[in-house]
Structure 1
Amino acid sequence: MSCVSCATLTPGLLDLDEARQRLLAAARPLAASETCPLDAALGRILAAPVHARLAMPGADNSAMDGYALRLVDLDTHPDGLPVIQRIPAGCAPAPLAEGSCARIFTGAPIPPGADCVIPQERCRLDARGRMHVHGEALLGANIRRRGEEYGEGAALLPAGQRLDAPALALLASQGIVEVEVTARLRVALISTGDELVEPGTPLAPGQLYNSNRVMLRALLQPQNCEIVDLGTIADTASALREALSQARDCADVVICTGGVSAGEEDHVRPVLAELGELHFHGVAMKPGKPFAFGHLHRAGGDVPLLGLPGNPVASLVTWQVLGQAFVQACQGRRPRPLQQLPVKAGFSRRAPQGRCELLRVVLDRHEHEPVARLAGGQGSAMLGAACQADGYLMVPGDMPILEGNAYAFLPVAQFAV
């Protein structure tokens, strides 16, 4: 779903969808892999598909606590069935004798000869200890069949799968203790700006604390990247040239913030042109217009560079809708399409000029359906609204927002994985 038609774009800027498609087309997954113990594999990316070593379930077993029996015996023994064995999970049962039943528990193997399980709530034991059934009994009821979920050799997880808790549990259920995963993606971080200082340092006039560095480290860590933090550099072409050369030689992807606009102190584009190639600059989105993408030339393979804007909210938004998907593709993952849901606006606002605007909004759920309301100030340096936002209301360029109309809503929760 395109956020903006070509007719409304500012000339020279890429549509957001096209920018994302170009990035994903340029992503090259890492070829290197390593063996990782299962206990240390959380968040890692499978380098090769995994197939089942065992059928699951490994044997016919009971789906609930109850009594295992032959269905025909209910008709031929109206005086009840004697309970001749007790079968807990992990037990190897004996064959079920004709005209009898077995007390059985959830997950326990079905005794040979039994063809249904009756839930204990529908069973009654008489004074002689014989079991009687209330209601209808069906052949095969409450039995989980061997291989019902998957058989031996079946595909379990594909290459590119991120290993979360359920995936690790699935592997453990197969007795797997180690897996082949892609090597960690090495991402070099560079902050540009003479005005930037690190938190904890006294501010001089005109200086700002570097929030982008902390934010991007926090965004990269859940992606299981190895971060090479090259710190903050001065707003000079020589300093940037040195930093990009260092980053190119030690990382798989380079991310820099700031210096990507068109001012006299913005050196990313000209320096990138010296050291490599600029593929595109400028995306028709607000915030995030100055986003840039290119490659640094290196013997043995070029290194991609993502140039994020210096304003922290613009840096955050461009990472979420553009940068994160690119990094995931470089890890061998299959990035999900942007999740977009129709949500009504609880406010009116003038049209953005030639750019798709991503407004930070909270969802008001007091109505019969969610309504988007502005989370606070929408400036590209205003982090407060970003902290409160449930997502972004995405408004096409040159289209005013009218209260009550529905627009595309991007939940921020989709960027957490």
Structure 2
Amino acid sequence: MPRLPNDCFANSADMISVDQAREQIAKVANTCADIEQVSIDKAGFRILGEDIIANMDVPPAGNSAVDGYAFSFASYQDSKTLVCVGRSAAGAPFSGSVQKGECIQIFTGALLPAGCNTIAMVEDVTVHGQKVFFPEGLKDGANHRKAGEDLKKGSLILKAGTRLRPQELGQLASIGKCEIPVYTKLKVGLFSTGDELCNPGDAHKPGSIFDTNRFMIRTLLENYGCCIQDYGILEDKLATVKDALAKAADECDLILTSGGVSMGDEDHVKAAVEATGNLHFWRIAIKPGRPLAMGQVKSAAFVGLPGNPVAALVCALQFVRPLITGLSGLNMKDAALPVFGKSSFLMDKKPGRTEWLRGRYRINEQNEPVIDKYSQDGSGIISSLTWANGLIELGEDVNRVEPGNMIRFYPFTELFK
């Protein structure tokens, strides 16, 4: 499939809102993945590439929901004592038909033979020899799983773009589907820039820092089901960055960088992107998250994340996640779901921008949901991320938060999936 068209992201000098940024992402992030067939045992959490139509009824025939005795409700209405003439077990059905005044012993999942439409549970009957005594009050059709009760042949059961969780795989298995059409995994190129960076395990020299962002973002991408090409740490040289971007654009659907998109003399990512594609600095009314760059290199989408670790992860969660969602073919309605709780803190906030704070959701002694804020707001404090179990979202219209106010909270469990 073709990837992004040229100038896919609108270039605006005006500050835009979070919602406007997400609308623009949804508009341009069309599926760029191909479709491949994988065996059902390899399809877990992949994204379905085609609509699936049921090729059979599920269950394929009427069967029993319980262990007990099956009979015609008309026979039960005539007499509460019936004669047992056989048995039906799962995989070993009763071969004949049940006549008036008769019943059969039946087990859970066993086929319901002709002449039966109702089942009484074994614990509700009394058996003496061949005679079975039934209680009053049984309902017509009780404990009878009808053919097609779950799925009807010819019905749409799963739509393209569905993530295949265990329950979706169970549904596919129920119609005997063994080869599943899924979108190929999104190919993402990832690298960091900065002569001051070194990898964990390298000798730590004066003035150097360990690269943290690449490992955070890589783990996030793996959780999103991407196929990652890690290009490591690039030197702060224009030619090096330019060559790496061109190579990544030929090999990947999306390129993510960390750092190097500011206006400093050693920030070469901006110039390298402009030399091989188009760069649109998005002025989004957010905190943290500046600078955040979006554009494309050749036909690959490009996102330049901030260099500060907290800002890098927050921007990846808020903007790269929906971009990956669209490019991968996943239904865009698969949004993170917030929870709400009472603020435990007091703060003033600048109106007109969306802010994400590191927070911790908990239940207090009164069994009420409460949300705490980390004591410091710096974008380089990684320990605030390990302390938090999610992000507090304060919208553009908020200018003050007081203890007891209901606030919105996004658990990491939602944002990471």
TM-score w.r.t. length of structure 1: 0.90
Amino acid at match of 1:373: D
Q: Matched residue of 2:230: which SS?
A: strand
Which is further off, 303-312 or 337-346?
Answer: 337-346
Tell me, in whole angstroms, the C-alpha distance in 2 between the residues paired with 1:188 and 1:16.
25
> Which residue matches 1:355?
353
> Which residue matches 2:415?
415
- Give the deviation of 1:236 after TM superposition: 3.1
- Give the deviation of 1:267 after TM superposition: 2.9
> Which residue matches 1:394?
393
> Which residue matches 1:339?
337
Contact preservation (8 Å) 1:346, 1:373: yes
Contact preservation (8 Å) 1:277, 1:295: yes
> Which residue matches 2:122?
120
Q: Matched residue of 2:232: which SS?
A: strand
Q: Kindly report structure 1 stretches of 4+ aligned residues shifted beyond 4 Å.
A: none
Q: Matched residue of 2:401: which SS?
A: coil
Tell me, in whole angstroms, the C-alpha distance in 2 between the residues paired with 1:193 and 1:70.
79
Contact preservation (8 Å) 2:33, 2:328: no
Tell me, in whole angstroms, the C-alpha distance in 1 between the residues paired with 2:55 and 2:409.
43
Matched, 1:274 2:271: no
Residue segments in structure 1 that go unaligned for 5+ positions in a row: 1-10
> Which residue matches 2:262?
261
User: After superposition, where does 1:11-410 map in structure 2 within 5 Å?
Assistant: 12-78=14-80, 80-93=81-94, 94-125=96-127, 127-297=128-298, 302-335=299-332, 336-352=334-350, 354-366=352-364, 367-375=366-374, 377-397=376-396, 399-410=399-410
Q: Matched residue of 2:324: which SS?
A: helix
Tell me, in whole angstroms, the C-alpha distance in 1 between the residues paired with 2:193 and 2:373.
31
Residue segments in structure 2 that go unaligned for 5+ positions in a row: 1-12
Which is further off, 386-395 or 143-152?
Answer: 386-395
Tell me, in whole angstroms, the C-alpha distance in 1 between the residues paired with 2:232 and 2:244.
9
Tell me, in whole angstroms, the C-alpha distance in 1 between the residues paired with 2:320 and 2:97.
60
Tell me, in whole angstroms, the C-alpha distance in 1 between the residues paired with 2:19 and 2:168.
31
Contact preservation (8 Å) 2:32, 2:329: yes
State the Cα deviation string for residues 182-223 of structure 1 (Å, max 9, x = none): 222211101111111100112112211111111122111122
Contact preservation (8 Å) 1:43, 1:222: no
Contact preservation (8 Å) 1:14, 1:282: yes
Tell me, in whole angstroms, the C-alpha distance in 1 between the residues paired with 2:273 and 2:130.
85
Tell me, in whole angstroms, the C-alpha distance in 1 between the residues paired with 2:362 and 2:160.
40
Contact preservation (8 Å) 1:61, 1:144: yes
- Give the deviation of 1:237 after TM superposition: 2.6
Which is further off, 275-284 or 222-231?
Answer: 275-284
Q: Matched residue of 1:109: which SS?
A: coil
Q: Matched residue of 1:323: which SS?
A: helix
Which is further off, 108-117 or 83-92?
Answer: 83-92
Aligned length: 401
- Give the deviation of 1:31 after TM superposition: 5.0
Distance 1:180 1:158, change over 3 A: same
- Give the deviation of 1:280 after TM superposition: 3.8
Amino acid at match of 1:243: A
State the Cα deviation string for residues 219-264 of structure 1 (Å, max 9, x = none): 1112222211111012233322122112112111111111123333
TM-score w.r.t. length of structure 2: 0.90
Q: Matched residue of 1:85: which SS?
A: strand
Tell me, in whole angstroms, the C-alpha distance in 1 between the residues paired with 2:117 and 2:218.
57
Tell me, in whole angstroms, the C-alpha distance in 2 between the residues paired with 1:280 and 1:65.
66
Which is further off, 34-43 or 314-323?
Answer: 34-43
State the Cα deviation string for residues 135-184 of structure 1 (Å, max 9, x = none): 41111111111111221121121111222222222222222221222222
Q: Matched residue of 1:73: which SS?
A: helix
State the Cα deviation string for residues 36-57 of structure 1 (Å, max 9, x = none): 1222222322221111122101
Which is further off, 68-77 or 190-199?
Answer: 68-77
Amino acid at match of 2:415: F
Q: Matched residue of 1:260: which SS?
A: coil
Q: State the Cα RMSD in Å.
A: 2.0
Q: Matched residue of 2:414: which SS?
A: helix
Q: Matched residue of 2:26: which SS?
A: helix
Tell me, in whole angstroms, the C-alpha distance in 1 between the residues paired with 2:175 and 2:87.
27
